[in-house]
Structure 1
C-alpha cells in the first residue's frame, strides 16, 4: 500500500521507519529540516547548551574549592556554529536511516487535496496518510509581542543577552532560565500562575534554591506589554531586558482543516490507534496535543504506522516519565490513575547520594534530592520526583515498573551499579521494602 507521512519530527520519522521496516511503500515529506523541532529548534538544542552550562557550573565549583584555577572565555557564536555543524551531521544520518528501509524522502510543503497530497507541484496518491506536522511556539496576545524571542530564535542570537525576561512558568521556561543564567544573563521568569507546578513542592524548592538560585522567579504575574529592551508587568513594574516567550505550543494543524475533525484547541482528534475521523488518515505527535514529549511522539508515530500496516496497536499514556534538562537533571513520573487518600499513601524523601557527577557536590550540600510516594495498601510506587545526574535513566526504568504494575517485592532482587547517584533504589530497597 502507498503510505504518505507528512512531517519528519520524532512521530513522522519513527512512523515512516516503522512502515518501511514492515515492508510498506513510504514517502516521507518534510517542509524544512528532517528530525523536526526536537533536533533543530528544541530539546537537542537545549541539551547541547546545557552540556556547556554543566561544564561552567563544574568549573566554578572546582575553582571555589581551590584545586583548579581557570578562567573561561565563552564564545556563544562558536557554540552556535558547532551546534549547527552537529545538526547537519545528524540530519544526514536521519535521512540515511529512513532511506535504508526503502523510504523516499521529499522536501517541500505539502497540501492535502482529497485522496491526494500535493508537494512541489506533484500530485501523490495515498492509501494511508500520517499527519505528523508538530507544533510551534504559542505567542500570547500581548502588545509588542513581536519583540519577543522563542526557542526558534536561540541559534539566531549573536551573543548571550545581558538581561532576559522569560514569560512562562513551565519546563521550557526553567530550562532556558538555567542556560542563560549560567551563561551570565540576569534572568527573570514571569509566570502567570505557579512556576514548575509539574513538580512536588520540595523538589521545586530545591530547584530554586540549589540549581537556579540566581534566577528571579515572579509567580502570579502577567506581562501587559513587551518592548524591544524591556517588559511591563500588570502591576506596573518595568523589567529591563529581552523578552523570551515560553508560553506553550500551538499545533501545526492548518493542513488538516476541513480534512479531518479537530479538537476545540485545533489539535487533530485521534483515537487510541492514532486514527482520525477519516479511516485511512492518522495523526501523531505534537499536532494531536497531549504530552508534547519526544518519546511520546515516537510511540504515537510507531503506533500509527503499525495500524496503517494492518497490525492492530493501541497507545497508552500511563505513567509517562518526564525531565527538566538543568545543570542537574530533574525527573519525575506519576501514576495518573491513582488518587490516594492521606491514609493510603506514604512518602519517603532523602538527599541525593555521592557518585559520578555528584561527588564534588557533597561539600556544598547540593548532591540532589529524591522523593517517592508509595501506595501503602498495594505496595506500589505512586509518584517519583528525583534530582540527580542519573535521574533521567533512573526514573525511566522505574516508570516501566509502574506501567507494568509490578509489586515492589519484585524489585528486591535488583542489583545496582556502584558508584551510582540513583537514590531511588536506596529508598525502595533500604527504607521501604
Structure 2
C-alpha cells in the first residue's frame, strides 16, 4: 500500500480525500466512527445544541415583544435522537466521499510496527504513513473523577440536568454553560484560574454580562472531589449537580510512542511540512497539539497529503480565526504580521447585520473591538460579537493572511445584508 492514513477526523479524512484526488493509492483506517471528534462528539454536537438554544433565546425575545405567544417544551431525548440520526447520514456521506476517489476505508484499531501497519489481523506495508489520531478529554486526577461527564457523554444524557457543575474555564466550558443554562439547567462554572483568560478582557466581560448572565462563574476556585451528583470544592463547600469536565485535551499519541519523536506534552513532533522524525511518516490534527480547531486540522491534513504525493507544501498558522458558539456568536483573530507598532483601538457597539434585526430593539446586536494599524490601513486584532461574526471574522482574517490593505475592500460587492457588519467595521476604520 502506497499511503496509509490512521484516523478519519478532519485531518485524516481530508488528507485521504486529497491524496485520492491526486491519484494516489490510499487506505484510511478508522477505529470507531468516520469524521472523528468534530462530528461525533465535538463541535458539530455543540453547534446542533446551540441551534436549539438560539431558537429558545429567539422565542423568548419574540414573546417579550408580544407578537408571538408560545411556550417551548423541550424533549432532550428527541433532540439527541435526531442528532444521532443526522450523524449517521453524515458518516455515510463522508465515507462515500472518500470512496468516490478510490480510497479504501477500513474500520479497526491500528498498530504500527516499523514499516508495517497492523489492523484486524492483517499487516500492510506502506511507503507513506499519516498519523491523525486526534485527542481526547483530559480528566483531572481528583477523587470521584469517574463520575464526571465530558463532551463524549453529551449524547448519553437522558435529560437536561437540573444542576450542572462545569469544571474548566475555556471555550468548551463557556459553550456547554450557554447550552445547558438556556435549556434550563442551573449552571456553575468552576475555574482554577481565570475564565476565558485567553481572550480580550472587554469581550470576556461582555460575554459574562450579556450572553451567559444566568451562569455562575467561580474564578480562582478548585475542586477536591466529585460525586455522582455533586462537586466538593477545595475549601470544603459542596455544590449539588452533575460534574462536567472541560479541562483540556490530551493527544492520542500512544500509537506513535517509541516510533517517532514526541514533544514534552506527548504530542507528535512535526515540522512545517507536517513531517515527523521519520521522513515517510507524517502527523496532522489534534495529535500534534497547537491549534485544536477543525479548520486547522483540515489544513494540516491537506498539507501532509500534498507532501506525501510529492507536491511540496508548507502549513501557515498566520491569522487563524476562532469562535465561541453562543446564542450570539463571538469571533476573534490577530494579525501576527503586524509587529509592535503604534495602533489605534476602536469599539463599535450594536453592529447590525445578518440575524440582528430583531435584536436592535433591545440593543443587544453585539460589540466589536478592533486594533488598527492606521499607517498601513490594516487590522491588527479584531474581536466581534454578532450573529454573523463567524463569517465576518473569517473573511477579515483572509484579508490579514494575504496582507491586503482594507481600501481594497471597496471593490467587494456584497449581497445585502450578508456583509453589513464588515462594511461598518471597515468604514469606521477608514474614517
TM band (smaller chain): over 0.9
CA distance in 2 between partners of 1:65 and 1:421 (Å): 27
Residue aligned with 2:39, SS: helix
Is contact 2:350–2:360 with CA below 8 Å preserved after alignment?
A: no
**Per-residue deviation, residues 400-431 of structure 1 (Å, max 9, x unmatched):** 11111112222233333323574332121244
The TM-score, its normalising length taken from structure 1, stands at 0.97
Is contact 1:131–1:282 with CA below 8 Å preserved after alignment?
A: yes
RMSD: 1.3
Change in Cα spacing, 1:348 to 1:424, as seen in structure 2 (3 Å) is farther
Residue aligned with 1:130, SS: strand
**Per-residue deviation, residues 201-259 of structure 1 (Å, max 9, x unmatched):** 22111111111110011111111211111112223332110110001100000000011
CA distance in 2 between partners of 1:202 and 1:260 (Å): 43
Residue aligned with 2:48, SS: helix
Unaligned runs of 5+ in 1: none
CA distance in 2 between partners of 1:302 and 1:355 (Å): 33
The TM-score, its normalising length taken from structure 2, stands at 0.98
Residue aligned with 2:143, SS: coil
Is 1:375 aligned to 2:373, yes or no?
yes
Is 1:20 aligned to 2:31, yes or no?
no
2:359 is matched with which residue?
A: 361
CA distance in 2 between partners of 1:9 and 1:212 (Å): 31
Is contact 1:3–1:24 with CA below 8 Å preserved after alignment?
A: yes
Is 1:419 aligned to 2:386, yes or no?
no
CA distance in 2 between partners of 1:422 and 1:332 (Å): 17
Moved more, 206-215 or 175-184: 206-215
CA distance in 2 between partners of 1:154 and 1:112 (Å): 32
Change in Cα spacing, 1:336 to 1:139, as seen in structure 2 (3 Å) is farther
1:32 is matched with which residue?
A: 32
CA distance in 2 between partners of 1:273 and 1:173 (Å): 33
Is contact 2:133–2:252 with CA below 8 Å preserved after alignment?
A: yes
Is contact 2:392–2:419 with CA below 8 Å preserved after alignment?
A: no
CA distance in 2 between partners of 1:422 and 1:236 (Å): 51
Residue aligned with 2:407, SS: helix
1:392 is matched with which residue?
A: 390
Residue aligned with 1:80, SS: helix
Is contact 2:352–2:420 with CA below 8 Å preserved after alignment?
A: no
1:314 is matched with which residue?
A: 314
1:152 is matched with which residue?
A: 152
Residue aligned with 1:373, SS: strand
User: Where do 1:20-419 residues align within 5 Å?
Assistant: 20-340=20-340, 344-419=342-417
Corresponding residue pairs, total: 431
Unaligned runs of 5+ in 2: none
